[in-house]
Structure 1
Amino acid sequence: MTTIYDIAKKSGYSITTVSKVLNHHPNVSEKAKEKVLAAVEELNYMPNSTARTLATKKSWMIGVVFNEHLDIGIAHPFFGQVIEGAKKHLEFYNYDLLLVSRNLDTKRSYSDHLLRRGVDGVIVINLSPDDKEVKKIHEASIPAVYIDMALEKANIVQSDNVQGSMLAVDYLYELGHRKIAHIAGNSSTFVARERILGYQQAMGKYSLPIPDGYIVDGGYYASEGGRKAMVQLLAHTERPTAVFVSGDYMAIGAMEAVKDARLRIPEDISIIGFDDISVAKYTAPPLTTVRQEKELIGRQAAMLLLDEINGLLKGPLARKIPVRLVKRGSCIQMSGISNT
């Protein structure tokens, strides 16, 4: 069995330096860190968790709380990839994850459960800042990072949702579209509000009107909500030529509604989604969408959390992750209109 002494011998550094690297100590050079971690990986070192807990007074456990409304847990492509990104980084520093879904058992206090387990920190994903249990975590003396939430005096990681929405509208405008509608997520969520704001700002930039009924609430990012919202838009007296949808699942439902109405995508109506989930490239036609770097979001959250656990943060930080437009086949140039 590989020991810390083997790591020291392999890397050429002292046991003290190896211990500092393994425990994420700040006073270690990058060169030492790289050599020690390379030795850890090469020798497949696995520390004794019981001894490590006693020596460091840490549980080496990170709690992850997420809130998804499709009842599919971490099979959800957004949450699954965000959590995987965090997991990969945290496992490198020998942390384990304790996953709790906010919707799995609403009678149980997940905050008490996490605090009772003595986790060293918590990553909270897509919950309301008004949730009493979020407040309990925020007010507790425990390191925490919040993803896709608006919370004061807290570490925050989020995609640039406003910019993503503007990229979508910019592209549709370049293609000649002027009647651009928006299928939003539930307005109670931070992400939905940010994407609505980006849509409104982009429409304002081009002095494009937003008629009543052009922003439709598609609910909690399910395909059925997108389908129902698109039915409403297709019945609008000023039927849009393009629709920006706040999530790919909703966009897929919207596409189904267009086909049910015997209309064509993109010839009769162009559609853009948001997320770039794995199935987006396999829809018919393939879905143009705004890509979130989901694993990067998780990795950044894990890095922030470890910095707070190890006392490296001077105060709360907010990190905004860039997004990009992925052009596929669900949008088309309007005939007779140039892109200038």
Structure 2
Amino acid sequence: MVTLKDIARECKVSFSTVSKALKGSPEISHETTEFVQKKARELGYHPNFAARTLRTNKTYDIGLIFEEKTGVGLQHEYFASVISGIQKVAFQKGYDITFVGGNSLQNYDYFSHALARNYDGVAILSCDFDSQGIVDLLKSDVPVVTLDYYFDSKHSAVLSDSAAGVKELTEYVISMGHTKIAFVHGEDTWVTQQRVGAFKKTCKEHGIKIPEEYFLEVLYHDADGCAEATKKLLSLPEAPTCIFYPDDYASLGGMRALSRLHLTLGKDISIVGYDGINLTSMMIPPLTTYEQNGKLIGKAMADALFDQIEKGSQFTPKKEFIDGRVLKGGTVAKLK
């Protein structure tokens, strides 16, 4: 079996340099890292994870909790980009990621699971934060970072600034002359509350009163639900001129309903989404939406989690907001 000492001897560098280069440590130059990793491949080196676990008392495994209700799973493009950002940092540090969750694990005991698997840390992307298993996990000594949910000052949280995003989108729609604006939002979560609150506040600041029937709830990522909500909104005696959807994928259902009514986007009716996924950017016209920087969010989550794993009780929790940007697209008409 090829060892780190064998690689160090072949490369004529120290054992420490080889160890750091194989982990992709920034302490080692790019050229040396490439040279050492290439030599390791040539020699047929394979890391002994069992030995490393015994030596360090770590499993080098991160649990990633991702629950969602529509069954789409990792096909959700926004969450896929967040996971990609987490993976990149984890792999650079020599850690694996284990996915836990799905639409069938409601009320699952995540705390007991984390203890049984001995995760070095857990990243929570989406779940029922009121479930006992999640509450117990957050109250434990297991390093945890959360996405779009702030539990307490002892834990790090990374948040996409949903309130700022919806405010920017609403300001843009109003600047285009719209006052009859409907808001189709996701299920009741902290994120949803932030978005609805920002929408109502921005409209109020512009003297725009939004009737209650303009607010409808569907599940996030639910295209069929948005199709039904769209038909309901357009059947009102005074239909909206613009419809907000909870996310870009869900907006596809609304577009389907509008197409069947022979309405042209950006002309007969206006719509906006949220997330900024690639799929809707390639439409004609492209969807007007708010782009969340998923990979940057994922990187920030990973950095926060590894900060706690590596520093232990000396780490400083942080609450970090990641900004996005409005993509104006072409689905919001300019009203005279």
Q: TM-score range by the shorter chain?
A: 0.7 to 0.9
Are 1:128 and 1:149, in contact at CA under 8 Å, matched by a contact in 2? no
CA deviation after TM superposition for structure 1 residue 38, in Å: 4.9
Q: Kindly provide the CA deviation profile for residues 127-184 of structure 1, in whole angstroms up to 9, marking residues without a partner as x.
A: 2321111112112211011112231232111211111111111111221212222111
User: Does the alignment pair 1:77 with 2:77?
Assistant: yes
User: Which residue identity is paired with 1:53?
Assistant: T
**AA in 1 matched with 2:265:** I
Letter of the 2:320 counterpart: R
Deviations 1:262-305 (A, max 9, x none): 32212121111001223212345321111111122111111111
In structure 2, the residue corresponding to 1:251 is in which secondary structure?
helix
Cα distance in 2 for residues equivalent to 1:222 and 1:159: 21
Map of 1:170 onto structure 2: 171
Q: 1:329: which partner in 2?
A: 330
Distance 1:227 1:86, change over 3 A: same
Contact kept in structure 1, 2:220 and 2:246, CA below 8 Å: no
Q: Does the CA-based 8 Å contact 2:143-2:308 persist in structure 1?
A: yes
User: Do structure 1's residue 180 and structure 2's residue 181 form an aligned pair?
Assistant: yes
Mapped pair 1:130 → 2:125: no
Greater displacement, 69-78 / 35-44: 35-44
The aligned counterpart of 1:150 is 150
Distance in 1 (alpha carbons) for counterparts of 2:78 and 2:254 = 19
Question: What secondary structure, in the 3-state scheme, does the structure 1 residue paired with 2:236 have?
Answer: coil
Gaps of 5+ in 2: none
Deviation at 1:242, TM superposition (A): 1.2
Alpha-carbon distance in 2 for matches of 1:33, 1:132:
46
SS in 2 for 1:213: helix
SS of the residue corresponding to residue 275 of structure 1 reads coil
2:199 alignment partner AA: Y
- 1:224 alignment partner, SS class: helix
Structure-2 change in CA distance of 1:12 and 1:292 (3 Å): farther
Aligned CA distance change for structure 1 residues 323 and 48 (closer, same or farther; 3 Å)? same
Structure 1 residue 31: Cα displacement: 4.5
Q: Which moved more, 1:46-55 or 1:85-94?
A: 46-55
The alpha carbon displacement at 1:117 in A equals 1.0
Q: AA paired with 2:176? A: L
Q: Which amino acid aligns with 1:248?
A: D
**Segments of 4+ in structure 1 off by > 4 A?**
6-14, 16-24, 30-46
The CA deviation at 1:306 is 0.6
What amino acid does structure 2 have at the position aligned with 1:192? T
- CA distance in 1 between counterparts of 2:296 and 2:140 reads 27
Q: Deviations over 1:60-95 (max 9, x none)?
A: 010001111121221221222211221111011110
**1:195 aligned to 2:195?**
yes
What is the SS of the residue equivalent to 1:308? Answer: helix
Q: Shift in Å at residue 322 of structure 1?
A: 0.9
- SS of the counterpart of 1:209? coil
Aligned residue type for 1:199: F
Residue matched to 2:205? 205
Matches within 5 A, 1:40-51: 41-43=37-39, 47-51=47-51
Separation in 1, partners of 2:147, 2:12: 39
Aligned match of 1:300: 300
Distance 1:14 1:223, change over 3 A: same
Taking structure 1 as reference, are residues 13 and 106 closer, same or farther at Cα in structure 2, changes over 3 Å only? same
Correspondence list, 1:262-277, <5 A? 262-277=262-277
Could you tell me whether the CA contact under 8 Å between 2:20 and 2:27 is conserved in 1?
no
Question: Counterpart of 1:60?
Answer: 60
Cα distance, 1:307 vs. partner?
A: 0.6
- Pair 1:182–1:9, CA change in 2 (3 A): farther
2:244 matches 1:244: yes
Q: Do the aligned partners of 1:266 and 1:331 also contact (CA within 8 Å) in 2?
A: yes
Q: Is the 8 A contact 2:292 2:325 kept in 1?
A: yes
Corresponding position of 1:233:
233
Tell me by how many angstroms 1:20 deviates.
6.7
Cα separation, partners in 2 of 1:158 and 1:46, compared to 1, 3 Å: farther
Deviation at 1:103? 2.4
Going from structure 1 to structure 2, the CA distance change for 1:306 and 1:34 (only over 3 Å counts) comes to farther
TM-score (norm 2): 0.88
- TM-superposed CA distance for 1:327, in Å, is 2.1
Alpha-carbon distance between aligned partners in 2 of 1:37 and 1:286, rounded to the nearest angstrom: 42
The Cα shift of 1:238 comes to 2.7
> How far apart, in 2, do the equivalents of 1:212 and 1:107 lie?
32
Question: After the TM superposition, which of the residue ranges 66-75 and 265-274 deviates more from structure 2?
Answer: 66-75
Q: Give the drift of 1:126.
A: 1.9
Q: Does the 8 A contact of 1:7 with 1:36 survive in 2?
A: no
Amino acid at match of 2:47: P
Partner residue, 2:116: 116
Give the root-mean-square deviation of aligned CA atoms: 2.7
- TM-score, normalised to structure 1's length? 0.87
TM-fit CA distance, 1:57:
0.8
Maintained 8 Å contact 1:218/1:228 = no
Identity %: 32
